[in-house]
Structure 1
C-alpha cells in the first residue's frame, strides 16, 4: 500500500502562521497536521505501508527541513519517503500527476489539510473508495450521489438541490492508482479544466464512466485546519479524543511555579509555567515560557514567551513574544507584542 499526500499549497487562509511554516506542518495537539493525518490513515488501513509520496511546492518554502520532517514520518511507519514538486499551482489533478512515478498499485490519496477519526474496514474489493462524512449543510460541500447498491455514481459540487448529505473530505483509496493516473493523463493531454485548474474529480468521473466501482468510506470525525478559528477548534477536539485514548499529553520535563493545569492539555518539553493557569483545551509546544497568564482554548507553538495575558481562542506561532491585554489573538512566528 502507498499513501500519496499532495501538500503544495501555501495555506493562505491560515496566515500569518503559514508565512514561515507550511500548513501541513502546523502542530495540532502537539503533532504536525500531516504527521497526525498520515499516522491515522495507516492505523485505519491496518497493513504495511510501502511508500509515502509527498508532493511539495516551491523549494524555497518547502525546504530541506520540511523534507527531513516528512522523511522521518515515512520511516517511522516503515515506509520509503518519495518527494515530488508541483512547480505550478494547477489544481488537484495536476498535483497528483506530479508524483507520476509513484502512481501504481493500491494507494490512498490524502490532502493534508484535514484530520480524521475513523475505525472501519475498507472494502478493498471495490475499484476505489471515497472517504465521506455526513454533514448538516451539504450545499456547502462537494457530495457523492449513491445508487441502490450504495455505490458512488456521481460527484456533485455544492448542490443547490438535495443530492445527498455525504460530503467528500479529500481522502481516496484506489485498488490500482495507475488507473487514475491514466485518466488524469487524458485530462491533462486534452486540457480539461474546471475552475481554471486540472481536477482529480475529472479523472474520477472518467473512471466511473468506464465502469469502475466506487464505494464510500465513512469517518467518525472530520476536522478542518483551514483557518485560525477552525484550527483552534480542531485542537480542542483532538485533545479530547487523545485524552479518552489515554495518551500522555503532558511532558514530564516542565517547570511549574504556582501553576494550575486544567485538562485536556498538551504541554511539550522544557515548558515553564509561573503564576499561570493553563486549560482546558490548550496545546503548548516545546521551550515556551508562560508567566502571570491565564490561557484556555488556545494553541501555542514553540519557543514562545507569554506574560501578563488572559487568552481564549488564541493561536500563537514559534519564537514569539506576547505581553499584553488582548484576549483573542492570532500572531505568527517571530512576532513581538510588548
Structure 2
C-alpha cells in the first residue's frame, strides 16, 4: 500500500514479456467491467517476480478527451521548449510561413503560406497550406488547407479544407467547409 497512483506512463525493458501477459488476458477472456485492463497484466507480472519502480511527477495531465489532450500537448510543448529540445525536424519544408513557438514539426511535414503556433504539434508528412493553426494537434499525413484551426485534433490521413475553428476529426476523414 502506498500513496502513489498509476497515471498511465510506463517503460518496460522487456516488451515481449508484457505482450505475453496481455495475450494471456485475451486468451482467457479476463476482463474487468467488460474491458481488458493493463493493470491485470501488470499484477500478473508482479506476482511472477517483476519489480516495478515508481517515478514521481510534478504535474498530472489527462488525455481523456479532445480538450484535455490539446491542453496536455500545450503543456508538453512548453516543457520541451524549456529543456531546449529541438522541435522542428530538419526534413520539414517551411515556405513563406510564420512559426510561433513552441511547436513540434515532424519529419517531412510541409508548411506553405501559413501561420503555425503557438502550441501546435504537426506530425510526420502532414501538410498545411494557406492556413492558421494554433493550440492543435495534426497527426501523420493529415492535410489542412485554407482553414483557421484552433483548439483542435486532426487525425491520421484526415483532410480539412475551409474555415473551421474547433475540431476533432478522426483518422482518414475529410471535412470541407
Q: In the TM superposition, what whole-angstrom CA distance separates every residue of 1:44-72 from its partner, at most 9, and x where no partner exists? A: xxxxxxxx2xxxxxxxxxxxxxxxxxxxx
State how 1:1-338 maps to structure 2 within 5 Å. Answer: 37-38=9-10, 52=12, 79-81=13-15, 82=17, 83=19, 84-85=22-23, 86=25, 87-90=29-32, 95-99=38-42, 101-103=44-46, 104-108=49-53, 173=54, 219-338=57-176
2: distance between equivalents of 1:227 and 1:322? 20
Contact 2:140 2:156 in 1 (8 A): yes
Structure 1 residue 94 displacement after superposition:
6.4
SS state at 1:222 partner: coil
* Separation of aligned partners in 2, 1:259 and 1:307: 14
Deviations 1:96-146 (A, max 9, x none): 3445552225314xxxxxxxxxxxxxxxxxxxxxxxxxxxxxxxxxxxxxx
RMSD over aligned Cα, in angstroms? 2.4
CA contact (8 A) 2:122 2:139 kept: yes
Q: Which moved more, 1:217-226 or 1:238-247?
A: 217-226
**TM-score normalized by structure 2?**
0.81
State how many pairs are aligned: 159
Q: Structure 1 residue runs of 4+, over 3 Å off?
A: 85-89, 91-101
* 3-state SS, counterpart of residue 229 of structure 1: helix
User: Structure 2 unaligned runs (5+)?
Assistant: 1-5
Higher relative contact order at CA 8 Å, sep ≥6: structure 1 or structure 2? 1
**CA 244–286 in structure 1, closer or farther in 2 if over 3 Å, else same:** same
TM-score of the pair, normalised by structure 1: 0.44
Rg bigger for which structure? 1
**Distance in 2, Cα, partners of 1:224 & 1:313:** 15
Distance 1:257 1:224, change over 3 A: same
